Amino acid sequence: MATKSVLNIVEDALVVALATEADLSAYNKLKGQSVTDIAYPSIIVACENASYPPGLAQGLGNYLCKVSVGIFTQIDTSTLTAHRTAVQNTMGVLDTVATVKAAFVSLNDGTAYDTTLTSMDEGRGDRAFVTTLNYDVLMVLPSV
């Protein structure tokens, strides 16, 4: 089995995948367990849960991970249209399974099978546009 937490593996890989998108270069990309103070604009990837996927045998290293991706853009320096463009660019990366798979491969901690957007929530924070994308990420740890 892996020496890293499944939650960390997924967060690491998705941050790497998001770093490949040039249109998101202005955004800080942070993991959920980061102690870094948030600075706008930012994208925070938090893997909140890992469970055994239905229909697959337990104990083989397969996990269905629930991931929350928050996109934060400062209201004072950006428009809602620009924020929503960043949200679409983020979705474009995470919906492209080949990009996510390549990020997992580059870290050599596991393999991604699929990503599925499960919901999108929009709100306002402290002087910020905030959108949360919720994804299911199906992955497997490397065999030992």
Phi–psi pair at 73, nearest 5 degrees? -130, 130
% of the chain exceeding 90 in pLDDT: 78
Asked whether the whole model's pTM tops 0.95, one would answer: no
Q: Give 23's DSSP letter.
A: G
Domain definitions of the chain by residue range? 6-140
d(CA 95, CA 11): 15
Q: What is the mean pLDDT of residues 55-84?
A: 92
- pLDDT of res. 67: 98
pLDDT at residue 1 above 50?
A: no
DSSP string, 91-138: HHHHT-HHHHHHHHHHHTS-EEEEEEEEEEEEEEETTEEEEEEEEEEE
Architecture of domain 6-140: 2-Layer Sandwich (3.30)
pLDDT at residue 20 above 50?
A: yes
- pLDDT of res. 3: 65
Q: What is the mean pLDDT of residues 24-52?
A: 89
% of the chain exceeding 70 in pLDDT: 95
Top-confidence range, 35-44, 52-61, 72-81, 124-133: 72-81
